[in-house]
Amino acid sequence: MENRAMMALGSILVLAFQAAPGTAQALRTERAPEWDALFDRHSGWTGADGIYSIPLAGDEHSGGLSAQHTLFVFSDTFVGKVDAAGRRQAGSTLVNNTIALLAAGGPDPDRIRFWYPRDAQNRPGAVFTPSTPGAMPGEWYWLKDGVALGSTTWVFAERFESPGPGRFRSVGLALLELPPGSAPPFADHLQHEVPLWLPPSGPHGNLAFGAAILANTATAGAPRPDGYVYVYGVRDDSPVKKLMAARVPEASFIDPAAWTFYDGAAWVADIHAAAPLCGRVSNELSVSPLPDGRFVLAFELDGVGRDVVVRIGDTPVGPFGPITTVWTAPEPGWLDGVYTYNAKAHPHLSRPGELLISYNVNTVEFADHFRYADIYRPRFVRVTF
């Protein structure tokens, strides 16, 4: 397995890209092996999906990694040991969410620490468990995007339940508040239920915001700030997932009355009036500013597949241009049942002139998680504009 992965490290994709009206330039995409290696671990945290990166000083611009710590949040995570042959060992446990803190400076394995609690029997568990008034026993959080505003960090968390063996269903959304001075594992965090989630209705699936956050503010280093924090949602109109947008003034982030939703022409107060910006997106994605003031939407085409794609828009709500494939993941060719999903960009982890993009790798064969521990961890590519 790892030999096949190493063969892919040399893969480079070069394609034409519309840089600005009437012009074109080449995009170059290649592996980012130093970021892959950061999450290739053999003890404790040994693999996860759902990776989001949050710059804790709030500086989102490229190159911002060097001067600030980064909080990573993950969803389903394996905790345990992996042997020298790459096999996950008996006793490994899957927990619903974990976190990591990377010290300022770069992707150095010695500068990252992972957190997950243990109970009285030393069994690992999730960092965040639902405790809002609407939460029910047995529910769990999968973590979504987050943002640092001032001295407080906010993380969206989608609440799920299991209606039967091997099944899961979204039932709500919370906003986790990490107070000023709080440190991992954030035992003093607060949980707020937020009206940024809708259940299935008619032909539409559920809508959950928090899939991506764009802080288009001067504090975040945006090239053309407007003072708003944009929060993107995905409506699961199976088989096509559709992108929606909300926004709120930076200073009013926690005020439900200050949120508005894009209805295709204007910003309105009614979440039910939100209109899709585009389709074929993944449940996790990103919208990031480019130095020229435009915005790049990065996602996995159709949610689960092999194509990491981007679309470019003139505003945070588009209209977004044609789909451009920047990477075709090789991992699904390793074994039957392996798939990739939920690509997204990490602007502050990127070097100037580049965009670092991650995607998740998984398998439908649960036993293969133990035979080949290398499958289940994020992979990274670097797109040079």
Report pLDDT digits (tens) over 169-193.
999 999 999 999 999 999 999 999 9
26 pLDDT above the threshold of 80: no
- What's the CA gap between 302 and 279, in Å, rounded? 8
Give the DSSP H/E element, type plus range, for residue 207. Answer: strand 207-216
For the stretch 292-312, pLDDT in tens is 999 999 999 999 999 999 999
Residue 166: predicted pLDDT:
80
Retrieve residue 51's tokens: 């990776």
**Helices marked H in the chain:** 2-8, 33-38, 368-371
pTM of the model: 0.94
Q: Walk me through the domains of the chain, giving residue ranges and CATH numbers.
A: 2-384 (2.115.10.20)
Does position 39 have pLDDT exceeding 50, yes or no?
yes
Q: Residue 368 and residue 49: Cα distance in Å, rounded?
A: 16
Per-residue burial over 71-90, b if 16 or more Cβ lie within 10 Å, else e, is: bbbbbbbbbbbbeeeeebee
Residue 119 pLDDT > 50, yes or no? Answer: yes
Helices of type H across 149-260 = none
